[in-house]
Amino acid sequence: MAKGTRDLILRDRLQFDVDGAGNTDLLYGRVDMSDFVNVVKREGFAVKEVRYHLRDPANENGVLDPLLVGAAGSLASLKVFCTTTAYENIADVGIASPDVISLLEMTSVQFVDAISGVPQWGQNQWNHYGTPDLHPDGYNVVSDLLIGIGASVVSSAVNQTLEIDIMIIGEPVKLNEADMTEMLTQGQDL
Which tens digits make up the pLDDT trace of 38-62? 888 989 999 999 999 999 999 999 9
Q: Does residue 96 belong to any structural domain of this protein?
A: yes
Burial category of 33 from C-beta neighbours within 10 Å (exposed 0-12, middle 13-18, buried 19 and up): buried
Which residues of the chain, if any, have pLDDT below 70?
1-2, 70-73, 131-135, 183-190
Q: Does residue 179 belong to any structural domain of this protein?
A: no
Q: Does residue 177 belong to any structural domain of this protein?
A: no
Q: Does residue 175 belong to any structural domain of this protein?
A: no
Q: Does residue 171 belong to any structural domain of this protein?
A: no
Q: Does residue 173 belong to any structural domain of this protein?
A: no
Count up the domains in the chain and report the number: 1
- Closest to 108 measured CA to CA, from 148, 147, 149, 79: 79
The count of residues in the chain is 190
Burial category of 64 from C-beta neighbours within 10 Å (exposed 0-12, middle 13-18, buried 19 and up): buried
Cβ atoms 138, 2 nearer than 8 A = no
Q: Does residue 80 belong to any structural domain of this protein?
A: yes
Q: Does residue 109 belong to any structural domain of this protein?
A: yes
- 3-state SS of 87-108 is CCCHHHCCCCCCCEEEEEEEEE
Q: What SS3 class is residue 127?
A: strand
| Cα(161)–Cα(170) distance, integer angstroms | 29
The domain containing residue 158 runs over which residues? 8-166
* Interstrand relation of 100-112 and 119-129 (parallel, antiparallel or unpaired): antiparallel
